[in-house]
Amino acid sequence: MAKGIWIIVEQRNAQIRKVSLELLSQGRKIADETGEPLVAVIIGHGIEGLATEVTAYGADKVIIIDDDKLSEYTTGSYTSVLNKVIREGEPQAVLLGNTALGKDLAPRLAHRLGVGLASDCTGMEIDATSFLSFIRPIYSGKAFAHLTSNVRPILATIRPNTFPVAEPDASRKAEIVKETATIDSNDLRAILKEVAIAASERPELTEASIIVSGGRGMKGQENFALLEQLADVIGGAVGSSRAAVDAGWRELKFQVGQTGKTVAPTLYIACGISGAIQHLAGMGSAKFIVAINKDPEANIFTVADYGIVGDLFEIVPLLTEEFKKLVG
């Protein structure tokens, strides 16, 4: 009996994260090809209204676990409630986004369920013998591991931007099931006191489809305003190389590379970045790479789809004007 593909839908303040829509969209395709139902699981507080949205993105069934104790993510409580519904529902596969939440929750949940976990996958395909197979970057993208599991459920976290978001279909219908949360004192040994989200009009680096990034060639903190202006015209995020972080020009959370964030945007514009192997590991899976650098020998040009040898201080403001015309 097919028990389905389950997507753990991540929401923040009743806003569904884009990666969850990506997983629902891809989950729908797999559901259609395999005949498995697609189940969306939404955890939080004041989230019942999200059932309509996940239905439009393909869910056949929506499991809602709404409790004021679940309004913010904590490892213990989310692991407990998911462990319970998964044991009862016996899905074939459970997919999460490889977000801060997914990275923290999935290993603990996997271990409580006694199963494996494919972390941070950038590929997922239907497999004739194991239902699904996964591809995940190792050595920060310098190699791939190809994984399957014959233990059920199969758990995987999928990197944001791996799959496109499909058009929602408002005519779809789904069964809605409400489950109650059971949280015991063991789940409350780590308590969330406060969440500080930096106010930003720009998308989160790991979810952004366009990233404008700066390195040593930016020459100073103040010059990043040029990149911010360019990013804002095209709805991009602003990243940086390790050199710019080590110089104190940018905060650590904006660092792209082997010891920073790994990103997979549609477009990555590298400005004044030499292209060290550690940086390429963090952004090498971008669909298109633009490099602007004074040094014609810079390593970044070996991976750039479009390379511009020149002065970024001259070119970036012109690009901002040009993109404004194009998208305006």
Partner 1 sequence: MNIVVYMKQTFNTEAKIVLDSNGKIEAKGVNLIINPYDEYAIEEGIRLKEKFGGEVTVVSLGESNVQAAMRTAMAMGADKGILISDPALENTDEWARAEILAKALSTIPFDIILAGRIAIDDCAGQIAIRLAEVLNVPSVGSVVKLEVSGTQATVTREIDGGTALVEVSLPAVITTTKGLNDPRYPSVAGIMKSKKKKLDVVTLADLGFSAADIAPKMNVQKHSIPSARKAGQKITGEAAYVAQELGRLLREEAKIL
Instruction: Name which of residues 204 to 263 contact partner 1 (CB under 8 A).
Output: 204, 206-207, 210, 234, 252-253, 255, 258-260
Closest approach of Cβ 279 to partner 1, in Å?
Answer: 10
Closest approach of Cβ 161 to partner 1, in Å?
Answer: 13
- Taking CB under 8 A as the criterion, the residue among 86, 110, 227, 256 binding partner 1 is 110
- Taking CB under 8 A as the criterion, the residue among 195, 201, 222, 248 binding partner 1 is 195
Closest approach of Cβ 295 to partner 1, in Å?
Answer: 13
The site that binds partner 1 (CB under 8 A) totals a number of residues, namely 92
Distance CA 51, CA 260 (A): 35
- Taking CB under 8 A as the criterion, the residue among 100, 126, 164, 169 binding partner 1 is 100
CA dihedral 26, 27, 30, 32 (to 10 degrees): -110
Q: Does 22 bind partner 1 (CB under 8 A)?
A: no
Q: Containing H/E element for 25?
A: helix 18-34
Distances in Å between the Cα of 74 and the Cα atoms of 106, 160, 178, 186, 312 are: 12, 21, 20, 12, 44
Closest approach of Cβ 167 to partner 1, in Å?
Answer: 18
Q: Does 45 bind partner 1 (CB under 8 A)?
A: no
Q: Containing H/E element for 238?
A: strand 237-240
Q: What residues between 124 and 153 interact with partner 1 by CB under 8 A?
A: 133, 136-151
Q: Which is it for strands 11-12 and 15-16: parallel, antiparallel or unpaired?
A: antiparallel
Q: Does 277 bind partner 1 (CB under 8 A)?
A: yes
Closest approach of Cβ 173 to partner 1, in Å?
Answer: 32
Q: What are phi and psi of 291, to 5 degrees?
A: -120, 130
Distance CA 304, CA 281 (A): 14
